[in-house]
Structure formats: C-alpha cells, structure tokens
Amino acid sequence: MIVITGGAGFIGSAMIWQLNLLGRDDLIIVDTLGQTAKGKWKNLSGLRFADFIPREQFLPLLESAAIPDISAIIHMGAISATTETDADLLIERNYAFSKRIATCCMRQNIRLIYASSAATYGDGTSGYDDNEATVDLLRPLNMYGYSKQMFDRWALQNGLLEKAAGLKFFNVYGPNEYHKGDMQSVVSKAYNQISETGSVSLFKSHRPDFGDGEQLRDFVYVRDCTAIMAWLLDNPAVTGLFNIGSGEARSFNDLVNATFAAIGREPRIAYIPMPDHLQGRYQYYTCANMQKLRQAGYPNPMTSLEDGVTDYVRNYLSSNEPYYDLHRHKTA
C-alpha cells in the first residue's frame, strides 16, 4: 500500500495518475478537500485508489500502526503558498506534521519520499546544488521556503535522509493545478489571460541586469516530476536530497511565447510593476543542478519547455475535461 499525502492536490493527484498508468491502485489518499470554487475533488474523479483519509485523522492512524502494509509514503501535503504570512501555521503544517510522518516511517521501515522546495535556495547566492552539506548555508526569501528548509535540516540531523528522498521542486506546471488560485503556474495564468483579453501581463524587472520578462526560472512539467518519483519508488536505495527541475533556466517571456504558440496566436505581452510585497523576496534566477539525480541513475530525458507547454495547453487547458483521467489520457 502506498500513501499519498496531499493526494488531491496538484502534484499528488498527478502522481496517482502516474501510478494508475503503471497498474497500481493500492493507494491511500490523505488530504482536505475544502470548499474552493474549483474543488480539489475534481482532481481525483477520474483516478483509482483504495481509500481516502481526511488529514486530521491520518496521524493517529499512522502512529498507532492502524494502517496495514504501508510500503511507502509520498508526502506532498503542505501549505505551498509562497505568499503565506502565518508563520505558526507554516511551522505546524510544513514542519511539525512532516516530522511526525518521518518519525513513523523510520520506526516502521516505510519508504518516504517528501516534497522540499527550490524556495529553500533563496536568491541563489549559495547556488542551486542539492548537496546536503550546504543546507545550512541557504537563506530562503520567505517563510514558506524557511519552513521547508527547517524540515530538511531536521531530516539531516536525525538520519532520515539515509533512507528517504527529499525533493526540491522547482517551478512545476501542468494539469490539476486549477484549484491553486494565485499560486497556479504562469502557463495556466497566461492561458486564462489570453482567453479573456488576448494579452498577458508580466512583471517588470527591478534589476538592471534583467530585462522586463527576462527573469529566469527552471520550469518543469509535472509529468517529469511524477516519473522521477515513480523511479524513486522502484529504487529505494536512492536516498538524500534531490533537485527536481528541467536543468535549464528559461525566461518568463519564453514561457508566455510558448503559450501563445500553442494556442496559435501572436504574442501580446504587457509589463506591469512588481507589487511592493514581492520586491526583495523575488527570485530573479533559478536553475536546478540535476547532476546528483543523474549520477544516482535516473535515465529519462526531461520534457522541453515548448513540448510541455504545448501538451498542457492543447490537451488539457483547451479541453472541456482538463483533468487527468485514465479514460481520456492514456499516455505518460
């Protein structure tokens, strides 16, 4: 049995789809579904799993070993909003909750794969190398990133990463992110803006070394993320912290131009001032060093930005049924 926390969320539900395609439906989903207009429940409706456990019920069951035959926990459940300002809530959900899951995994010999974040790298001054020895050198720009760094530190100090894999996700985009509101990827936001107005707004640069829209990110398609996690399930001897990105830095202009191309329209981009609350906490450059994962043996190529955006736009965002569904989307 595989447990997926945050299983109704973006990456979690994509992982269910990935495992379903591999013939696995012995999955327990842990999440809260809430009351959002584009409810997370829709992410689950076309997928197969054995059971659903509300988040508040999960830890007591796990800690009492009441869930039999767990071989692995994929821990994606967290507050993922980089703009969240409630530090106590972030500590509770992203740090304390994760510690309790990790402690049970160590005691019960359960394989753990958990979500860290590229937000731990801060402004990139210390680089983007997923080297455990450099974790203490990192200075995140927001409390979300710090909550993830706190858990990475705890994992190192308590020997968790000798058995588990922590994944530093970069800028993930793809189907099933529609419930995330303002935290949706720029691809999804750009598609919606083009549909509504015919143009896309991007932030102006407030640094002389970057042009408007030329801020750089490592954009990674969610299918690459789930393929990596599936490989990690099959290779439990692979442990430690790993970057999960494309390994290539591309501009927001590139991303938006790819979105226009996928729709078949000429680009129209307007550059707007960056909000005050983001200035000083904004990453102008991210790029995952993927060498460590490759050295561990991961063999698959990463999807190019243009190919990923085209697939997402044409087969999901432009579809009346944009969610992962085994009956409509058969290929990974």
Strands of 128-183 (E only): list them: 165-169, 171-173
Task: Exactly one of 128, 144, 173, 324 is catalytic; name it.
Answer: 144
Is residue 310, in this structure, part of any structural domain at all?
no
**How many residues are recorded in the chain?**
332
Q: Looking at residue 332, what is its pLDDT?
A: 41
Mean pLDDT per 10-residue section of the chain, whose length is 332 residues: 97 98 97 80 96 97 96 95 91 97 97 97 93 94 95 97 97 96 94 97 94 97 98 98 98 98 97 85 91 98 98 96 79 45
144 in active site: yes
Task: Exactly one of 42, 99, 180, 292 is catalytic; name it.
Answer: 180
Q: Which residue range is the domain that position 38 belongs to? A: 2-170+219-247+289-300
Is residue 199, in this structure, part of any structural domain at all?
no
Is residue 280, in this structure, part of any structural domain at all?
no
Q: What are phi and psi of 21, to 5 degrees?
A: -60, -30
The angle subtended at Cα 251 by Cα 249 and Cα 257, nearest 5°, is 130
Per the structure, how many domains does the chain have?
Answer: 1
Closest listed residue to residue 224, CA positions, set 312, 288, 303 = 303
| Rounded-to-integer distance, Cα 160 and Cα 99, Å | 10
CB 281 within 8 A of CB 142: yes
Amino acid at site 150: M
Provide the CATH number for the domain around residue 147.
3.40.50.720
| Rounded-to-integer distance, Cα 266 and Cα 104, Å | 53
CA distances from 152 to 101, 124, 196, 274, 293 (A): 14, 17, 41, 30, 17
| Rounded-to-integer distance, Cα 226 and Cα 175, Å | 12
Cβ of 56: how many Cβ atoms within 10 Å? 9
Closest listed residue to residue 249, CA positions, set 274, 283, 272 = 283
Is residue 213, in this structure, part of any structural domain at all?
no
CB 303 within 8 A of CB 181: no
Is residue 268, in this structure, part of any structural domain at all?
no
Q: Looking at residue 160, what is its pLDDT?
A: 97
Is residue 263, in this structure, part of any structural domain at all?
no
Is residue 257, in this structure, part of any structural domain at all?
no
The angle subtended at Cα 93 by Cα 233 and Cα 38, nearest 5°, is 80
Is residue 164, in this structure, part of any structural domain at all?
yes
Q: Which residues contact 64 (CB under 8 A, 6 or more apart)?
A: none
180 in active site: yes
Q: Looking at residue 140, what is its pLDDT?
A: 94
Phi-psi region of 174 (alpha: psi -120 to 50; beta: other; left: phi over 0): left
Q: Looking at residue 329, what is its pLDDT?
A: 57
